[in-house]
Amino acid sequence: MVLPSAYLPPINWFACLMTGEPICLEQYENYHKQTIRNRCTIDSPNGPLQLSIPVDKSNFVGGKCLMKDVRISTHNDWQHQHWYALETSYFNSPFFEYLQDDFRPLYEKQWTFLMDFNEALIQKCCEMLDIQPNISRTKSYVGISENLNANPTNSTLNYYQVFQQKHGFLPNLSIIDLIFNMGNESLLVLRESRSGYVAEG
């Protein structure tokens, strides 16, 4: 199964890991802007909030760059802003207090390549979920698995969310929403959620 690299991927991206199939991250595709490759959606006090990692386009040729070569821009303090947003949104969640020290160092380290940062966060989430999926990177262009192109926004099993009484249940948010709200029970939600993701979203 071939998946795109993703920043704190949505729940249905992670549900793909529960199939037991080997997973390849497509690193030879051209970077797609405004997608899960550099942005995630969390639940904030004001509703769904998108966090986007700025990319350095200095090495883009004709507006294109292979995903493996996409560099993170250093022109703003995005890491501090993203961590502050996570802290503000999940401070009152059941597991943020216990897990914040596992994630904060990744936001304090300087990263060069987007895929490296994405993969480090994916590995940390897998560690928190106590799963050991077989994940590697493609060795040449393969293309994203076609059977994952459907929009599965209604396929996420309902679970506790901090602002659910205010916003209602929000499906298919970033995996970090599930982990901070449900802790080790996150696996139950993943197993019951249909695998898939919005291909360009």
Predicted confidence band at 148 (pLDDT cuts at 50, 70, 90)?
low
Decide: pTM greater than 0.85.
yes
The CA distance from 3 to 144, in Å, is 6
22 CA to centre of own chain: 18
Contact 29, 65 (CB under 8 A): no
Amino acid at 169: F
The pair of three-digit structure tokens given for residue 21, joined into one six-digit string: 């199939």
Domain segments of the chain as ranges: 2-192
More confident residue, 6 or 147: 6
Mean pLDDT of the 145-169 span: 77
- Who's near 177: CB < 8 A, 6+ residues apart? 11, 42, 43, 90, 161, 170
Q: What is the DSSP letter of 83?
A: H
Predicted confidence band at 149 (pLDDT cuts at 50, 70, 90)?
very low
Element (H, E) at 99: helix 96-108
Contact 23, 1 (CB under 8 A): yes
What would the pLDDT profile of 11-69 be if each residue is shown by its tens digit? 999 999 998 899 999 999 999 999 999 999 999 999 999 999 999 999 999 999 999 99
Burial grade of 75 (CB within 10 A; 0-12, 13-18, 19 or more) = exposed
More confident residue, 29 or 201: 29
pLDDT at residue number 43: 98
Give Rg (Cα) of the chain.
16
Q: Which residue in this structure is represented by tokens 């994952």?
A: 148
Q: What is the mean pLDDT of the chain?
A: 92
> Which residue in 153, 170, 152 sits closest to 161, CA to CA?
170
The CA distance from 135 to 90, in Å, is 28
Check whether 145 has a pLDDT greater than 90: no
Predicted confidence band at 154 (pLDDT cuts at 50, 70, 90)?
low
